[in-house]
Each structure stands twice: as C-alpha cells, then as structure tokens.
Amino acid sequence: MGTKLLPGAVAFGLLASASILPMQAGADADFSGETIEFVIPFSESGGSAKWANFYAPLLSQALPGEPTVVVKFMPGAGSTKGANWFQNNRTDDGTVIFGTSGSTQFPYLLGDPRVRYDYNDWQVVLASGTGGVAYLPPDLAAQYDGNVANLADVDFIYGSQGATRLDLVPLLAWEMLGLNVEPVFGIKGRGDGRLMFERGEANIDYQTSSSFLSGVMPLVDDGKAVPMMTWGALDADGNIVRDPTFPDIPTFKEVCEATEGCETSGEAWDAWKAFFVAGFPAQKMVFLPGSTDAEIVEAYSAAFDAIKSDDDFGQTAAPVLGVYPQMTRDEAQGALQSATTVSDEATAFVTTWLQERYGVTLN
Amino acid sequence: MDLLATALPALNEAFALILQPQQIMFLLAGVLLGLSVGVFPGLGGIAGLSLVLPFVFGMDSVSGLALMVGLVAVIPTSDTFASVLMGIPGSSASQATVLDGFPMAKKGQAARALSAAFISSLFGGLLGASVLTFFILIARPIVLAFGLPEMLMITVLGLSMVAILAGRLPLKGVAAAGLGLMVGTIGEGDAGGSLRMATYDVPYITDGLKLVIVGLGIFAVPEIISLLRQDRAIAKDAQLGAGWYDGIRDWARNIFLSIRCSIIGVLVGVIPGLGGSVVDWIAYGHTVQTAKDKSQFGKGDVRGVIGPESSNNAKEGGGLVPTLIFGIPGSGSMAVFIGGMALLGYDAGPQLITNNLDITYTIVWSLALANVFGAGLCILLSGGIARLTTIRFTLLAPFLFMMISFAAFQSGQSLGDLVALFCVGVLGILMRRFDWSRPAFLIGFVLSTQAENYSFQAYQIASSRFRKGTFEGLEYIFTPIVLVLLVITALSIYYGIKQAKQIMPEGDVPTGAKRAPLVFLIAVSAYFLVSFFQATTISMVTDKLFPMTISFVAVVCCLLLLIRMIRSPETDAVFADREAEGEDADAPHGLWATLGWFALLLVLSALLGFILALAIFFALFLRLRAGLEWSRIALLSGAGIAFLCFLAGTLNRDFPPGLLQSVVELPWPLG
C-alpha cells in the first residue's frame, strides 16, 4: 500500500473553512505531503465511524507536516477481520493507524477462534472512554428505589445485539441483580433497542452515554423513561465510582450493594468488572504497529495531547464523544492494560455463563 | 391549524437558508459528486459521503448539510443508468428497475426508459418532500405504532410479491425465493452467531453474502455473458428508437401511477428497519397488479420503470423520518449522514424537530431541490448516454467486467468477493437458463435476515405477553395495522397467482431436452437437503429454526417439481431451457467459453493483483475476441485502467491484491 493523492481533497480543502488553528507537535517526525490511513474495522455507519471521522481532521491539523488523514473502513467478522489485517500489516512509518472498539476487545478476551491478533504487538496512542446508562419505563421505575427487590417478578424484555457483544455487560449485571431479563437477539444497533423500548415492546434498555444524552434524555424529560443505573466510571486506583457525566444516577455497584443476593465480590462480580473495564472506560483506542519508531509514536502522542488540550475541544467533542477522558501516553497504556488483561477465572466464568444461560458457544 | 402555524414560519426560514447562492453552490457540488460516484454500481452514496466527511467538519452548518444532502439525494437517481443501460442493479433501490428498464434498452429505447425513470424520480422526490413537511410533525406516534408484528407483516408483504414475479410455474417461483432466503442465511446467525453453511476456516463466508455481490451476480453477470455471446450492441440493430421526450410523455400519461408509487415510497421509507430493500419491489408489484394490459411486463413496459423509480426517491425523503426524529438511520448512507450532522453540531433525535425545525426543513427541501437538479441533469444527459447501447457489446464487456469486479471488491475488500461474485454469477446464469425467477430469488435474499429476525423477535415478545394473559398477547399481535396488512398480503398473493401466468419477468423461454433442467433441479434440491441437515446440527434454537423451516418447504417444492418432471413431456414449461432454441442457442459464442473470459480475469487477479490482471485481460480479450489492432487495444485498455485508478485514488480504495503482491511489495496501484 502506498501513498495516494486526493484530487478531490484539494478542492474541498479550499472550500472547507477550518475553524481550528494548526497545532504543530512532535519535533522529529514529519508527515508533509503524506496521506495517513486511519483504518476502522467497522462499516461507515457505526459509532466507531463517528469517532474516527471526528478525530481525522483534528489529527490532520495536529500532526507535524499536516498530512491528509483519511478514514478507511474495513468491516467484517465483527471487526476481527480488520484487526487480523492490522496484525499482518507491515507499514510502520506512521502512515497506517488502526482504531479498535470494545467489539474488538471482547472476542480477543473470550478466545474467539477468528482472533489472530494480539494487543501486545501494538502501541497505543489514544484511548477514549465512555459509559453506559440503563433505564426503565416510568411504571416499573415507580417500584424501584435504588434496590430491585420489587422488580424480581417482572418479565423484562431487552433488545440485544448478541450476548457476546458489549451487551454482555448489562445482561450479566441484570442477572446478578436477580432480574428476569429475556434478551431479544438480532437487533442491528442500540438505536433499534431504544426504539423497541419506545414502542413498549422492550421494558428495559441501556445506551452508551452519548446516545443516552441525545436519544433518551428527551424521553426522560417527557416522563417516558427513568434512568436506573450507570455502569460507573473508574477512578485513578481502578475503583468504580459515579459516572462524571451522570453524577446523580447511582452506579450498578451501589444498586448491587443495596440489593439482597447481589455481591460486589466473588467470581461473578470480578468477571462483570473485568468485562466492564474492557468494554467501557477504554472502549475505543488508536494503535500504531509495534515496530513503529519511537519518534513517530511520540509525534502521535503529542498530536493527541495537543488536540485534547485545545480550548474548544470540550465543546466540540461533547456531542460526538460524550464527556469522557481521552487518554494518551501512560494513561492510555494503563487503560489498554486493564482493557485487555482479564483473569482466566473471569473469562472462564463468562464463557460458562454464556453457554449455560444462552447456549452460545464460541467455537 | 396548529400544524400550519408551526410549519410555515420554519419553512419560510428554511427556504431563506437554502436559497442563498453559496448553499445552492454546495448543493450542486454535492449533486455532481453524487452523480459521478453514484453511476458506479456498488460504490453508491456511502463512498461519496465518506469522501466529503473530513471537509464537512468546520463548515458552516447549512453549507455542510447542503453538500451532504446533495450527495445522498441523487444516488437513487444516478444508479438508474447502470440498471437501465447494462442491466446492473446499481443499488438496492433500483433492483426492480432492471426488470423492464433493461429490456427497453435492448429494444433501442434506452433514452425513453432513462428519462421516464428520471422524471419519475424527480416527481417522487418532490412529492415525498411535500408530504414530509407536514408528516414529520406528527410522524412520531405513527412510526411508533409499527412494532415487530407490523414490520414482520410488511416483510411478508414484500415476500408475497414473489407470487406475481414467480413466472410461469408458481412452484418454481417459491423454490427460487426459498433459495434466496437460504442463501441469505449463510454465515453467522444474527441472533446467536451460530454458523450456517459456513466454517471459521473460511472467514469470508462467516459474514454471509452481501447484497451488492448477489445483485451483480444474479442480474448483471448473466446479462453481460448473454449479450457477449451475441456479439452485437445492447440495442438490437444498434438503432436508438424513442428519445428522451417520449419518456416524459409516458410519465405524464401514468401520473397517477407515479403518485401512488411515490406515496408507497414515503410510507415504507418512514418505517425504520425496513430500509429501501422492499420499496421498489412493492411498487413494482403494485404497478403490475393495477395495470390492465400486463402482457409487456418484463419485456420492456415503461410502467415497470415509472413505478419503482417514483417510489425510490420518495423513499429517501421518507427515510429522513426515522433518521431525523429517532436518530435511527434508514440506510447505510443515512447512517453516515447522521455522523456528518454530528460533526456539524446537530444531533439527530426528537429534539431536532422541536428545537431546530428550520434545520429539519432545510434538510427535507434541500433533498427535494437536489432531486430537481440531479434528475434534470440526468434527463439532459440521458439522450447522449443512451448511445452506449449502440456500441458493439464486445468492446463494452471488458470494461463492464472491470467495473463489476471492482464494485464487488468494495463490499468486503477481499479476494473472496471476486470468488463469490463468480459463483453467484454461475447460479444466476443457470437460473436464467432454466427460467427460475431471478427477481423471486433476490426478494428472498434481501428479506431473509429481516424475515428471520422479526419472526423470532415478535414470537419472543408475544410469548411474554401471552404469559401475562391471552388478551394481552392477542392485542399485541393482531393490531389494526397487522390486520390491514394481512388483507393486502392475501389479496396480493391471490391476484398474483391468478395473474402470474400473463407476466413473464424474464420473457418467453423455450423448452428442450429433459436432462439439463432435471440436473439443475436435483442440484438445488441437494443444496436444500444439505442445508436442512446442517441446520439440525445447530444447538441454538433461534439460529436453526428458520433455515430448517425454509429448506424443508423448499425441498417439498422441489419434490413436487420433480414429480411433475417425471410425469410431463419435454414440451412442458417445467423443462424451460434457453439453450434449447432461440437467441441463446443460436448465439455465435458458447456459454462456458464466454464465462471463461470472466474466470480468466479473476484467476489473473488472484495471481497478479487486479491492475496487472486487467492489463493482460484487456489485451487478450480485445485481441482474440474483439479482433482489434494493437494500437486501439493499447488506447482502450490504457484509458480504462487510468480511469479506474483515478476513481479508486479519489475514493481512497484499494484493488484486489494477488499472490504476487504477497511476495513483493509493489507501489500503488499495482500493489
């Protein structure tokens, strides 16, 4: 794969009026005149596309030499296809970068037979976190007061994308609380799940934070939905604390503590926490190949530092990314560590649970 | 008149925003870009939108919206070129257009078909926008009334169109649709992820087959091969008959059909989750059912173009409802559009209507305006572009092979795409030869996932309701909408079967010897049987039941056909075989030798990569098959390859790599 010129880009570049001043960073690497491919192992329509399209123009301005950054989509096999491709990719001059998501992490952790990639071979330069909020219809929320004892007899229906996806986190959480939630599998995105909730077909749902803010908050204001709990956020020591975006909503940990029969220790809890950490606080990450020179990695780290320290960043990022940490350098490294190292016990617990509860096998 | 009081001021504001020279310029830029990307099958709006997204960031919001809307709006318009001129379904929105549009091109009426299509698109787009302006204010409760049972019923209604497109033997049509449904289940099950007729050892197949590849394989490959065997132009006698003006007159004569189909388009487009895949079939079915003289459908009836084309642009407008007020994209390009809106600082969702009604209307009417620009431009171009159908087809074919291979490769960016295209192409050739309804197959394929998911999901929720009480359960399933749809479906099947004998979507097919049709039937039955037994081995009930049921029904159909074959003489319709006599049998070139050329291109690509393979393929084909001089060969192949490289370079697309590329690193575009 070589360098490509974008004739259309020139024309549109002239038309587009950039509002953010160029931010130069990284002393040694220089990408002048280069085209950087930001490879996303998903289709053009998903959350990762939104995230990548947001960062691409910023990255273009922040990298030394202002290269053209193009987002390239390589969907397939639930993102394992793209990740396998990146594992074998030999371009390590910084012109190919790769963006992963929780959907890339989970098959890796669960030992999906299609996984031929290893996070240990890659270098992380950015980790973007998010959170999640579960919510209920108002009639059921009236029976809920921080513990779920009164909801034990309710037949819950939940629109799910599949038990081995990010939905594993809410499904396991509700199960630990003793709720009787029947997932309706096969929906195409969390938006469809919300629609099922709005139609009254589903009576419990969760959304990631930014979707909750844009899609569910209007329902909450109309009295058609009531937030139940967040998955929480991690503090510097790795403890689960209230989600900074929703400081008034209790976390699953609090609800679990208040509910009889739900334990915040033991193998179920450890497994839940491990997969929560893998799926949310470091949901999307940007990687360079392991063999990339240190100065190129430094250029990228500096570029992302510059992007997030820009004055306007908080305001422009909020609607697209939510209010979550965008981690670089050691923070990103730490996030990667916690997102990709899950104890064998936790993996074994989840694999057995998936098999026994849903009949899902992974090979 | 509360509605008017809300709508009018915002509408006023929206027009003030749109009708600025700068916005119009961006809209036009989007339209031009969309047209140039949209004519290529398989690339479509997503590629074009992704191309402009990086520049949208930082633009002022109305200009950015105008650019994106201009692009999205013209895709269902521009892909009509490929459908009508080459018989290539450009996107899911113009599958049904192929049925009558392409036969018209063959009759030398390409310009008429194109202009009828474009004026219908234009009208559909405008009508869609007008309806939408008011509907969008009250749409929310209506959209929410469409739950899973309703969506399942619409899917079934779409499937019921098989009845009218089944061809001479309804049983064969059902079997063809069953084959489509089964091919649609290949890969990981949506519900539980179990593998169906696939293995992890071949990762490509676990994702299932993509619509682009199936559409190209089932419709385009057989048509290209068949035309290539004739060694003449697409238009018989290479003469252009009726011109673009006739198409507009045809449309004016059928304006009520156009209105009805536009409304169908808006209504189906409004419902999230159905997408555009059924709209054109439902519109086509409606067109056929309401026509008095049905004898010309499938052979080049202009109404068969007007119906689906009126609906598919109206659908884009309708699709804005779920996109804008629920934040749930109705199609892939709408999903990218939502992403672009976020970059401009607008979040799609209920608050958009409440807080930014002017922006909402800006989008709706930019869409309409872009339709006018796009369709108008296309009508002007149609006379000239229609001349393509008078060129000797042997000179066009290698470029078509290049285009469909490149388009197929875009769907999965793997060599597997080319292999899949070839395999589906062979299936399409055989189905065409033995008169198995290809539209029925495609309807089955397109609706397979929806049919399976909706039936399971509706079943799961219904059983939960029934646990609460019989009344709750019944109330959930038998809503007024479901009952109405049920009646429409029943009528559509009844009249479909009654009328199907008059409508031959594939034209007349002669009958011949018994052996070849029998062998094909046995091969198809064997596939159903293997699928059935493979499905029984799946442990998850949610993933096994659908393929088991469908393959069981299909096997029964095949058995009945087999019985009929045993008991009937050679002249029975069940033994339809295009190779027996007629155009195909008399063709100067053999079927398999012609297909061999396509195979050659694919094998060369697997060895040398796409671009080198193309160079060799062009040289050999144009020399040996077309008999050109070397100087013209160099000119034509050079121009073709240069054009493809420009297109791929602009859109930042790769070419299929071969074995060579895995050994040595070559510079783009060779590597």
Percent pLDDT > 70 in chain B is 94
CA-nearest residue to A69 within chain B is B54
A358 with B464: Cβ contact below 8 A: no
- In a domain, residue B161? The reply is yes
CA distance linking residue A218 with residue B354, whole number of Å: 10
| pLDDT on residue B91 | 67
What SS3 state is found at B175? helix
| pLDDT on residue B657 | 85
B58 with A57: Cβ contact below 8 A: yes
Report the half-sphere exposure of B421 (CA within 13 A, side-chain side).
Answer: 30
CA distance linking residue B12 with residue B362, whole number of Å: 10
Q: Which of B22, B28, B52, B57 to mutate to test the interface with A (most CBs of A within 10 A)?
A: B57
| Bridge partners for A185 per DSSP | A160
Interface A-B: count of C-beta contacts within 8 A: 195
From chain B, the residues in CB contact with A60 under 8 A are 54
pLDDT tens, position by position, A35-79: 899 999 987 767 788 788 889 989 999 999 999 888 888 887 778
Option in A4, A162, A199 nearest B649 (CB): A4
DSSP B392: B
User: Domain range spanning residue B606?
Assistant: 392-416+590-671
pLDDT tens, position by position, A335-351: 898 888 888 999 999 99
B45 pLDDT tier (thresholds 50, 70, 90): low
B624-B629-B633 Cα angle (round to 5): 80
- In a domain, residue B582? The reply is no
Option in B54, B58, B347 nearest A214 (CB): B347
Is A1's pLDDT higher than 80? no
B332 with A44: Cβ contact below 8 A: yes
- Strand order of the β-sheet with A205-208 is A205-208, A132-136, A226-230
Chain B from 237 to 296: CB within 8 A of any A CB: 272-273
| pLDDT on residue B504 | 64
From chain A, the residues in CB contact with B350 under 8 A are 218-219
Pair B567, B475 in one domain: no
| pLDDT on residue A20 | 38
User: B535: which 2 tokens?
Assistant: 């499905």
Contact predicate B117/B312, CB 8 Å: no
Pair B274, B184 in one domain: yes
CA distance linking residue B115 with residue B195, whole number of Å: 45
| pLDDT on residue A21 | 39
A37 with B652: Cβ contact below 8 A: yes
Average pLDDT over residues A15-40: 64
| pLDDT on residue B43 | 64
Pair B151, B125 in one domain: yes
| pLDDT on residue A307 | 94
User: B85: which 2 tokens?
Assistant: 């001129």
Average pLDDT over residues B410-432: 90
Pair B301, B245 in one domain: yes
Contact predicate A230/A240, CB 8 Å: no
Q: What is the CA radius of gyration of chain B?
A: 25
Amino acid letter for position A304: F
Pair B412, B559 in one domain: no
pLDDT tens, position by position, B332-376: 777 778 778 877 878 777 778 777 888 888 888 888 899 899 998
Is B191's pLDDT higher than 90? no
Q: How far is A182 from chain B (nearest CA, A)?
A: 9
Is A358's pLDDT higher than 90? no
Domains in chain B, number? 3
Pair B412, B545 in one domain: no
| pLDDT on residue B261 | 93
Residue pointed to by tokens 């749902």:
A205
Q: Pick the closest to residue B272 from B338, B311, B329, B325 (CA basis).
A: B329
Pair B379, B396 in one domain: no
From chain B, the residues in CB contact with A81 under 8 A are 203, 207, 414
Specify the range with the lowest mean pLDDT, choosing from B100-104, B171-175, B408-412, B549-553: B408-412
Please state the separation of Cα B295 from the chain's center in Å.
24
Q: Pick the closest to residue A128 from A339, A351, A362 (CA basis).
A: A339
- In a domain, residue B215? The reply is yes
Option in A1, A16, A316 nearest B55 (CB): A16
Burial label for A235, CB within 10 Å (0-12, 13-18, 19+), is: exposed
- In a domain, residue B187? The reply is yes
**Alpha helix stretches (DSSP H) within B57-88:** 61-78, 80-86
Residue B475 near chain A (CB below 8 Å):
no
Chain B from 547 to 606: CB within 8 A of any A CB: none
Pair B625, B600 in one domain: yes
Phi, psi (deg, nearest 5) at residue A122: -115, 160
Say whether the peptide bond before residue B669 is cis (omega within 30 degrees of 0): yes
User: B437: which 2 tokens?
Assistant: 């309804």
Pair B638, B571 in one domain: no
A320-A323-A329 Cα angle (round to 5): 95
Is B253's pLDDT higher than 90? yes
DSSP tally for chain A: helices H, then strands E:
15, 13
CA distance linking residue B537 with residue A333, whole number of Å: 44
Helix axes A329-340, A266-279, angle to 10 degrees: 140
CA-nearest residue to B29 within chain A is A12
From chain B, the residues in CB contact with A20 under 8 A are 58
- In a domain, residue B624? The reply is yes
- In a domain, residue B48? The reply is yes
Is B330's pLDDT higher than 70? no
Is A17's pLDDT higher than 60? no
CA-nearest residue to A363 within chain B is B200
CA distance linking residue B649 with residue A7, whole number of Å: 8
pLDDT tens, position by position, B537-580: 988 888 889 999 999 999 999 999 999 999 988 888 888 888 88
CA torsion through residues B189, B194, B195, B199, sign? positive
A111 contacts: CB under 8 Å, gap ≥ 6: A347, A351, A362, A363
Pair B536, B473 in one domain: no
Residue B538 near chain A (CB below 8 Å):
no
Pair B132, B256 in one domain: yes
| pLDDT on residue B320 | 82
Amino acid letter for position B176: A
Q: How far is B592 from chain A (nearest CA, A)?
A: 33
Phi, psi (deg, nearest 5) at residue B486: -60, -45
Contact predicate B196/B185, CB 8 Å: yes
Residue B141 near chain A (CB below 8 Å):
no
A17 with B59: Cβ contact below 8 A: yes
Concatenating the DSSP letter of every residue in B263-331 gives HHHHHHHHSTTTTTTTHHHHHHHHHHHH-S--TTTTS--THHHHHHHHHHHHHHHHHHHIIIII---SS
Higher pLDDT: B76 or A297? It is A297
CA-nearest residue to A212 within chain B is B349
Is A153's pLDDT higher than 80? yes
Residue B304 near chain A (CB below 8 Å):
no
Is A3's pLDDT higher than 70? no
Which of B495, B526, B543 is a domain's end point? Answer: B495
B332 with A43: Cβ contact below 8 A: yes
Option in B326, B332, B540 nearest A45 (CB): B332
Pair B515, B607 in one domain: no
A285 pLDDT tier (thresholds 50, 70, 90): very high
Average pLDDT over residues B225-245: 79
Residue B540 near chain A (CB below 8 Å):
yes
pLDDT tens, position by position, A234-284: 887 889 999 988 999 999 999 999 998 999 998 999 999 989 998 999 899
User: B297: which 2 tokens?
Assistant: 């459908």
From chain B, the residues in CB contact with A3 under 8 A are 668
CA distance linking residue B420 with residue B622, whole number of Å: 26
How many residues belong to chain B?
A: 671
Residue B663 near chain A (CB below 8 Å):
no
Is B507's pLDDT higher than 70? no
Percent pLDDT > 70 in chain A is 91
From chain A, the residues in CB contact with B464 under 8 A are 155, 157, 182
Q: Pick the closest to residue A135 from A206, A190, A200, A189 (CA basis).
A: A206
Please state the separation of Cα B423 from the chain's center in Å.
19
Contact predicate A264/A253, CB 8 Å: yes
> Which residue segments constitute the domains of chain A, with CATH numbers given?
24-129+282-340 (3.40.190.150), 132-278 (3.40.190.10)
Q: How far is B342 from chain A (nearest CA, A)?
A: 6
Q: How far is A237 from chain B (nearest CA, A)?
A: 34
Task: Work out the mean pLDDT of chain B and round it to a whole number.
Answer: 86
| pLDDT on residue B275 | 57
Is B303's pLDDT higher than 90? yes
CA distance linking residue A107 with residue A165, whole number of Å: 8
B288 pLDDT tier (thresholds 50, 70, 90): confident
CA distance linking residue B348 with residue B350, whole number of Å: 7
B506 pLDDT tier (thresholds 50, 70, 90): low
- In a domain, residue B403? The reply is yes
B655 contacts: CB under 8 Å, gap ≥ 6: B406, B409, B609, B610, B611, B648, B669
User: B131: which 2 tokens?
Assistant: 């309806």
Chain B from 420 to 459: CB within 8 A of any A CB: 452-453, 456-457
B457 with A184: Cβ contact below 8 A: yes
Cα pseudo-dihedral A328, A333, A338, A342, rounded to 10: 140
What SS3 state is found at B407? helix
Task: Work out the mean pLDDT of chain A and round it to a whole number.
Answer: 86
Amino acid letter for position B290: T
| pLDDT on residue A38 | 93
B461 with A184: Cβ contact below 8 A: yes
Residue B464 near chain A (CB below 8 Å):
yes
B649 with A12: Cβ contact below 8 A: no
Q: Pick the closest to residue B258 from B306, B323, B200 (CA basis).
A: B306
- In a domain, residue B199? The reply is yes
User: B632: which 2 tokens?
Assistant: 């013209």
Q: How far is B662 from chain A (nearest CA, A)?
A: 11
Higher pLDDT: A302 or B166? It is A302
Contact predicate B370/B30, CB 8 Å: yes
From chain B, the residues in CB contact with A4 under 8 A are 649, 652, 668
B144 with A199: Cβ contact below 8 A: yes
Average pLDDT over residues B650-670: 81
B56 with A5: Cβ contact below 8 A: no
Option in A159, A191, A200 nearest B327 (CB): A191
B505 pLDDT tier (thresholds 50, 70, 90): low
